[in-house]
Amino acid sequence: MATNIFVNLPVKDLNASVAFFTQLGFSFNPQMADERGTCMVISDTINVMLLVEPFFQTFTGKPLVDAHQANEFIICLSVDSRTEVDRIADAALAAGGQSVAQQPENEMEFMYDRNFQDLDGHLWNVMYMDPTFAQQTSPAEAAAQ
């Protein structure tokens, strides 16, 4: 059985977040949804739980990070083409997301990616990696290039 991942993200306005990610083309599992949160389906094994901040806070005694001011992580999704990278990033910006400046744009011969910030300031990276490069190169070789 494959291991599933459930990333939990605090959100201020659940309805606005659902509308935002719907415009990016993601779907939601209605069996895992109520007024406190919902499950966004990324793939068969990757889900993102969008949880309103007060409910999210019940899972930890630590203060929440204001993702507009500080960053704890970047969620990176791989997709099948450069066109899909652009579709998702452009949809994020059109839906109210913010562009994340990269200096310089991270475009390599074998990889193409774009970043955006969602409505709550969480950072997302969407990337395409040429599968022939990935098959021919070890992770250590790729990091060195």
Q: Give which of 50, 40, 53, 46 is closest to 6, Cα–Cα.
A: 46
Examine the domain organization and report whether 51 and 12 are in the same domain.
yes
Check if the beta carbon of residue 100 is closer than 8 Å to that of residue 50: no
Which domain-ending residue is among 60, 79, 111? 60
Residues 12, 48, single domain; the answer is yes
Looking at the structure, do residues 121 and 55 belong to the same domain, yes or no?
Answer: no
51 and 87, same domain (yes or no): no
Identify the CA nearest to 35 among candidates 19, 15, 17. Answer: 15
pLDDT tens digits, 105-129: 555 678 899 999 999 999 999 999 9
CB 78 within 8 A of CB 128: yes
Q: What residue ranges of the chain have pLDDT lower than 50?
A: 103
Rounded Cα distance between 86 and 10, Å, is 26
How many Cα neighbours within 13 Å face the side chain of 65?
11
* 3 state DSSP class of 132: helix
In the block, which residue shows the tokens 């659902």? 18
The CATH number given to whatever domain includes residue 41 is 3.10.180.10
Per-residue model confidence (pLDDT) at position 78: 94
Owning domain of residue 134: 65-145
Q: Taking the model in full, what pTM does it have?
A: 0.82
Last residue of a domain, one of 60, 76, 97: 60
Q: Residue 90 is encoded by which pair of tokens?
A: 């452009």
pLDDT at 134: 59
What is the per-residue pLDDT for 61? 86
**Residues 6+ away with beta carbon under 8 Å from 70:** none
pLDDT of residue 108: 66
Q: 45 and 85, same structural domain?
A: no
48 and 69, same domain (yes or no): no
Last residue of a domain, one of 39, 60, 81: 60
Please tell me the distance from the alpha carbon of residue 141 to that of residue 144, in angstroms, as a whole number: 5
Per the CB < 8 A criterion, the answer to whether 20 and 39 are in contact is: no
Q: Are 39 and 101 members of one domain?
A: no
Domain count, the chain: 2
Q: Spell out where 12-73 has E strands.
A: 27-34, 37-41, 46-52
- Which pLDDT score, from 0 to 100, does residue 1 have? 80
